Amino acid sequence: MRAFTYERASSPQQAARAVSERQGAKFIAGGTNLIDLMKIEVETPTHLVDVNGLGLESIEPTEEGGLRIGALVSNTALAAHETVRRDYAVLTRAIVAGASGQLRNKATTAGNLLQRTRCSYFYDINQPCNKRSPGSGCAAIEGYSRPLGILGVSEKCIATYPGDMAVAMRVLDAVVETVKPDDSTRAIPIAEFHRTWETAPEKDNVLEPGELITAVTLPKPLGGTHIYRKVRDRASYAFALVSVAAVIQPDGTGRFAVGGIGSKPWRREDADAQLRNGATAAARVLTQGASTTEDNAFKVPLVERTLAAVLAEARAKGNAA
């Protein structure tokens, strides 16, 4: 690990300014991803700004009937929150499907959204990687690509966004709230937060330098049956090959997003509209434009089979109600 300096921020605005004013500076909260990357010198920040003391740990109702989740709410606290479990159950289920209990105790809401890809070539500093070193190439395209992306990818990068929580937030139409170094704020729909890799794959999201996430807002509850199904190589502590977050209504309509297949949680409203016609029709629309390798082509039919299992589970729960 390379040497770095450190400071504790006193306010969100001061934290944003501190990072923007110092080249190579980064925010740190739980550190569950950043510290690992620093140890292997994939990330080499010159300065860390600790945001843990900013009072962003609350979960509160909004005037619109939704929920505002502070950026520093731990994954454990968010998954266990009574309102989340009752009204946004897909979010609880997605969070519990990720990582381990120890990591969920430390991981934060904002940090979870910002976690970087787990592509093995990104983690290996001896391999070319455009995410790690822009312009160096993508070793994954001609290498081992089984866990990697088929949507939102390009000849520059085929990495996947690895998280579970954001897949559920995409289904729920969450909004990411931020503050900038000039004290201005903005609200970014989760659909627009993560990027695709056609250009600048080193940029995972649309945040500007020094822009700090302060909260994530959920709209009022959707009702329906909430399901999160994750297909992975082992039963626990593994990233998704394919995951499906879904909210299915009693009449068979609903919405779904898929993880493990793209540069970001993948959802298409025109695929949602096909749910009443079954998994095959909906999955076909969702995976339009997929760019596969010999190793990961299986993900296209796996999306359909996973969605079919989700719809069958929703019907079974509806019949039992």
For residue range 22-34, list pLDDT tens digits in order: 999 999 999 999 9
pTM for the full predicted model: 0.97
Give yes or no for a contact between 250 and 288, defined as CB atoms under 8 angstroms apart. Answer: no
Cα distances (angstroms) measured from residue 88 to each of 58, 227, 243, 319: 17, 10, 17, 21
Using the predicted structure, report yes or no on whether residue 219 has a pLDDT greater than 70. yes
Q: What is the arithmetic mean of pLDDT over 237-266?
A: 97
Cα distances (angstroms) measured from residue 300 to each of 21, 158, 247, 267, 292: 44, 15, 21, 14, 9
Q: What is the arithmetic mean of pLDDT over 186-193?
A: 98
How far apart are alpha carbons 134 and 239 in whole angstroms? Answer: 25
Using the predicted structure, report yes or no on whether residue 62 has a pLDDT greater than 80. yes
- Alpha helix (H) residue ranges in the chain: 12-20, 34-39, 75-80, 82-87, 89-96, 101-106, 109-114, 120-123, 139-142, 165-171, 190-193, 269-272, 279-286, 299-320
Using the predicted structure, report yes or no on whether residue 320 has a pLDDT greater than 70. no
